Amino acid sequence: MKRDFLRKMMSNSVAQGLNFGSRWLLNLALARHMLETEFGIFSFVYMLANLFFPTIAFGVNFYLIHHAASQQNIRHLLSSLIISVLVSIALLLGLVGYSNVSGDPLPFELYLLSLLIGASWALNQALFCYLKGRQDFASEIQSQLFNGMAMLLLVALIWFGWTDDTATVLLLLLLISLVPLAFGVHKLWPEFISWWQLADNVTDLWHWRSWRARISYAWHDMFAIYLTNIPFIFLAIFSTLTELGQFRKAFILFMPVTLLPVVFSQVLLAKLSAQPAILAKRSLFLRNMLWSLPLLSLPYLVLILTCPWLYPWLLDEALTPQTATLTSLVVFALWLTLVKTYFEVWITALGLNHWRAISVTLVALLGSGAYVVINHGLNPESAAWVFVGSNALAVLFLIGLSLRGYFRALTKQATENIEKQ
């Protein structure tokens, strides 16, 4: 069991590593070679793409892994893809309306590119989360090999000064994101055709029931990405794009570790969701948490210890005392994100995803309130302190909900066993 978990986590690590690693190199190259103001603009538009992404995905990450592991019906994937397209169209109409009335100095093309990039990421996630729910973690590796090579070519163009225009970089990023999308569609095309030929009522794919089944997942994912991007959002509102860029530099330095929660959570959820008995779920969860949490915490410790050397080497600028404090806070906040992901997986495996959604919503609202209170006194360091506090509060909420959910599920299963007798 442990060997199988490790094998699948390593497969997922390679796929996610190629994806996140290539994006990290892209951001690092831009941080080194763009002017501070231009990098601030890129950071703002890239942040928007990250916000559009979970909105368009509409909860496919955990929803498809959970349901594919237990049912393996491609109808769930088709429904998710159609919902994502419909959400994208609604957001596009909203952007057009905003551009006509706002007088925003940023060109509409940048907003459009951020939306299209977010949509391509969402469709990619749907395809490969469905495959992961079926225990197929190898397909994503193959797709990300091609994606990674294309991204490295883009990084080289930026590194050697052949392009550093925000619109051009975003357009190339969009085209590159279509590579794994094409691979995933090709992989699943025979299943799409087979289902379509046997389907009785295709309108069920976008029926209200399909939306309702995903609402708690989408709700959580949108607020979770909002919670992750909350410092960037409020720095853009209350500070300057230059300070937003400064905060993002500290975040970029540690971007590689942000893939760790993604890697293990998808594998662990697929295993837990395939296990029907609550006591067996608990045993599997605790065993994997006890050995994997210390192991996955090591990279965060290494980053803290090597930051005085890494920061000037990678970003080509001196590490000031203020920046050292900022980077330490960012690393700690990211480690708390790792810890809270364990309990998010556990709650989802218990079928209580709406609890997870309520928890992240409360934390996001409380964090937003803190940023609003600070408002125009907000700077990168104070934003990082609120970021840490928000993630710590999220961990406490999720631990409490995990315990309550376990005892509730245990009681429910015991009652069902008595009724069967």
pLDDT in tens, 13-22: 566 666 777 7
More confident residue, 216 or 379: 379
Cβ contacts of residue 404 below 8 Å, gap of 6+? none
Rg (CA), the chain: 21
Average pLDDT on 230-255 reads 83
pLDDT reading at 12 higher than 70: no
Measured distance CA(101)–CA(118) in Å, rounded: 23
pLDDT given for residue 336 in this prediction: 93
Inter-residue contact 40 to 244 (CB < 8 Å): yes
Q: Nearest CA to 255 among 334, 308, 190?
A: 334
Q: Is the pLDDT of residue 257 over 90?
A: no
Give percent of the chain above pLDDT 90. 19
**Could you tell me the CA-to-CA distances from 259 to 21, 139, 345 in Å, in that order?**
9, 18, 15
At 129, the pLDDT band (50, 70, 90 cuts) reads confident
pLDDT for the residue numbered 279: 83
Q: Which of 113-117, 289-293, 405-409 has the highest mean pLDDT?
A: 113-117
So what's the pLDDT on residue 76?
79
Alpha-carbon distance of 241 to 37, in angstroms, equals 7
Residue 421: Cβ within 10 Å count: 4
Supply the mean pLDDT for the chain: 82
Per-residue DSSP letter, 160: T
Reported confidence tier of residue 249, pLDDT bands at 50, 70, 90: confident
| Poorest-pLDDT segment among 87-96, 205-214, 398-407 | 205-214
* 274-284 average pLDDT score: 81
CA–CA distance, 147 with 18 (Å, rounded to integer): 8
Question: pLDDT tens, 82-103?
Answer: 889 999 999 999 999 988 887 7
pLDDT score for 115: 96
Highest mean pLDDT among 98-102, 140-144, 331-335, 373-377: 331-335
Name the nearest CA neighbour of 350 among 216, 210, 207: 216
Q: What is the pLDDT of residue 104?
A: 75
Least confidently predicted of 126-130, 180-184, 193-197, 330-334: 193-197
Average pLDDT (108-133) is 90
What per-residue confidence (pLDDT) applies to 392? 94
Q: What is the pLDDT of residue 244?
A: 82
Residue with tokens 């397209």: 85
Contact 221, 360 (CB under 8 A): no
